[in-house]
Amino acid sequence: MAEKKSLQKLTVEQAVERMEEIQEIIQKGEISLNESVALFEEAANLYSFCNEKLNALEDRVKILSKNADGKLEAVPFETDEE
C-alpha cells in the first residue's frame, strides 16, 4: 500500500524514466534473479500507474469541431482502438 501512495506522487514522465532505468539494470544482467524479479514487479506497477493516468487524461481530452450550425462544440477524443 505504501508503494501505491508513492506512485501517486510521481508524474507519468518520472514513471517512464524509472521504467527505462529498470530496463537498463535488468539488461546488464549483473543482478540476482530475485532482484530482477523485484525490479520487474516495480516496472509492472509503474506501467499500470502510467496506463491509468493516460486513460484518465484521454477521457478529459476534447477536440473542438464545428457542428452543423457552424458553432464550436466539444467532442470526446476517440482513438483507433475503439
The SS3 assignment for 13 reads helix
Structure-block grid coordinates of residue 67: 457542428
Q: How confident is the model at residue 2 (pLDDT cuts 50, 70, 90)?
A: very low
Q: How far apart are CA 28 and CA 16, in angstroms?
A: 19
**Any idea where the domains of the chain sit in the sequence?**
2-76
Per-residue confidence (pLDDT) for residue 16, from 0 to 100: 96
Instruction: Give 8's pLDDT tier (boundaries 50, 70, 90).
Output: confident
Stated pTM of the model: 0.69
Give 68 or 38, the one with higher predicted confidence. Answer: 38
Confidence band for 1, pLDDT divided at 50, 70 and 90: very low
